Amino acid sequence: MACWLYQMSVDKYSHERYRAEVWEGSVTQNWTLGTSTHKPKDILPGDLVILFFARTGAHEPGIYGWGVVTFFDSEAGEMHFRPAPPSDYLKMNPVPEARISSVIDNIRDLPQGTVWRVDDKALGQLRQRIAEHVYGIRP
């Protein structure tokens, strides 16, 4: 299983639209990988995706949820995913960007783009920050 960071831009997908359209358990369809030249071709069903609003233009940047990839078309640059708990909580109370910025900055080789592979170390750090934020679990 691979993990991917999906960077959302408020210019293309507002916080309000995300909160209204993305629900735990339902399949979210037709998410594009944008126009960036940085488009992975090896995303697979069953991979994890972490949903992140970038700080540029966002009034509440941070992690808004995560889920499981259910479909990926590399030709069309399109992904479908099923949000998983605690995504409904996170979309109303995201992990603040300030708490994860160092991890996010290490994942993105360029801040312009949509999707990046997350290595095991960064995934562990993000999982820990999510657990601390949502459940109060400290290491």
The confidence band for 36, taking pLDDT boundaries of 50, 70 and 90, is low
- Determine the Cα–Cα distance for residues 21 and 64; give it in Å rounded to an integer: 13
Q: Is residue 100 classed as helix, strand or coil in its secondary structure?
A: helix
Query: Kind and range of the H or E element at 103?
Result: helix 97-107
CB 90 within 8 A of CB 43: no
Each residue of 50-72: pLDDT tens digit? 999 988 888 899 999 999 999 99
- Indicate the class that CATH gives domain 3-135: alpha beta
Find all residues with CB under 8 Å of 122, minimum gap 6, and list them: 103, 106, 107
Min mean pLDDT across 26-30, 84-88, 111-115, 119-123 is at: 111-115
> Which pairing describes strands 62-73 and 28-32: parallel, antiparallel, or unpaired?
unpaired
- Determine the Cα–Cα distance for residues 101 and 5; give it in Å rounded to an integer: 13
